[in-house]
Chains A and B, each alone.
Chain A
Amino acid sequence: DSGVTQTPKHLITATGQRVTLRCSPRSGDLSVYWYQQSLDQGLQFLIQYYNGEERAKGNILERFSAQQFPDLHSELNLSSLELGDSALYFCASSVYGVNSYEQYFGPGTRLTVT
């Protein structure tokens, strides 16, 4: 158990819909990262937040957005869903600084768009 929790575990929705994925980081970790894992693209970094502020952006689509709240939990919002958005979405957390590459991943949310 990494200490990172993600809800829901599975999500099935239709094209065009909007969903919200939730992540609670390990106690004490200020950085939260979102990654997407699909069969054709592998594991890809989407976005990072540190203590409520956006720190880095990867190949995140404009239809996707995220935020980190004062209690440090984070939400990833996916809108106008397409079939190609079906994937595993992982959240990871870390301390900040030299050891921030030591990231702890949650169990993921499996999103299926039909």
Chain B
Amino acid sequence: DAKTTQPNSMESNEEEPVHLPCNHSTISGTDYIHWYRQLPSQGPEYVIHGLTSNVNNRMASLAIAEDRKSSTLILHRATLRDAAVYYCILGGNNAGNMLTFGGGTRLMVKP
């Protein structure tokens, strides 16, 4: 399985943009890039996913490098509620479609 590499932790100031990086140099052509986050004492929450093009939704933006070997999750204005562990996960459209979670990035947001 293709693996992802994320920084263990990052810090941000409230109301500033946050760029969370993810490296996935062994990504295959059919792997989608998914981002989930886990707020304290809650289950993981879907954030966004993409294949090749950049994606935007109400929660975040996903910027995917042209060679697809890295991606960046962008939170446009961090709030205290965005403090969570963010997971970058690769997965193709195969049977099961289970999520393989790595260690993720713990994002701390300072007021």
B43 touches A107 (CB 8 A): yes
Q: Is A45 touching B46 in the complex (CB atoms < 8 A)? A: no
- By secondary structure, the B interface counts as loop
Chain A residues bordering chain B, tally (CB within 8 A):
27
Alpha-carbon gap, A55 to B98, bound state (A): 10
Q: Mind listing 22 A-B residue pairs with CB under 8 Å? A: A2-B43, A4-B43, A42-B102, A43-B99, A48-B98, A55-B95, A55-B96, A56-B95, A56-B97, A92-B43, A92-B44, A92-B99, A101-B49, A101-B89, A101-B97, A102-B49, A103-B44, A103-B46, A104-B46, A105-B43, A105-B44, A107-B43
Q: In the complex, are the beta carbons of B93 and A98 less than 8 A apart?
A: yes
Name A's B-contacting residues (CB within 8 A).
2, 4, 31, 33, 35, 42-45, 48, 55-56, 58, 90, 92, 94, 97-98, 100-108
Known contacts A48-B98, A56-B96, A101-B97; A42/B44 CB under 8 A: no
A-B contact count (CB 8 A): 61
Known contacts: A90-B44, A108-B43. The answer to whether A101 contacts B96 by CB under 8 A is no
Q: Is the CB of B46 within 8 A of A43?
A: no
Contacts of A48 in B (CB 8 A): 96-98
Residues in B lying within 8 Å of A, measured CB to CB: 32, 34, 38, 42-46, 49, 87, 89, 91, 93, 95-103
> Which of chain A's residues has its CB closest to B43's CB?
A105
Residues on A with C-beta less than 8 A from B46 are: 102-104
A42 touches B101 (CB 8 A): yes
Interchain CB contact under 8 A, A101 and B95 = no
A2 touches B32 (CB 8 A): no
Partner of A33, one of B38, B42, B98: B98
A45 close to B100 (CB less than 8 A) = yes
A101-B32, A101-B34 are known contacts. Are A58 and B98 too (CB-CB below 8 A)?
Answer: yes
Residue of A nearest to B48 (CB): A102
- Chain B residues with CB under 8 Å of A97's CB are 93
Q: Per a CB cutoff under 8 Å, which of A2, A4, A103, A106 touches B99?
A: A103
Q: Which residues of A contact B96 (CB under 8 A)?
A: 48, 55-56
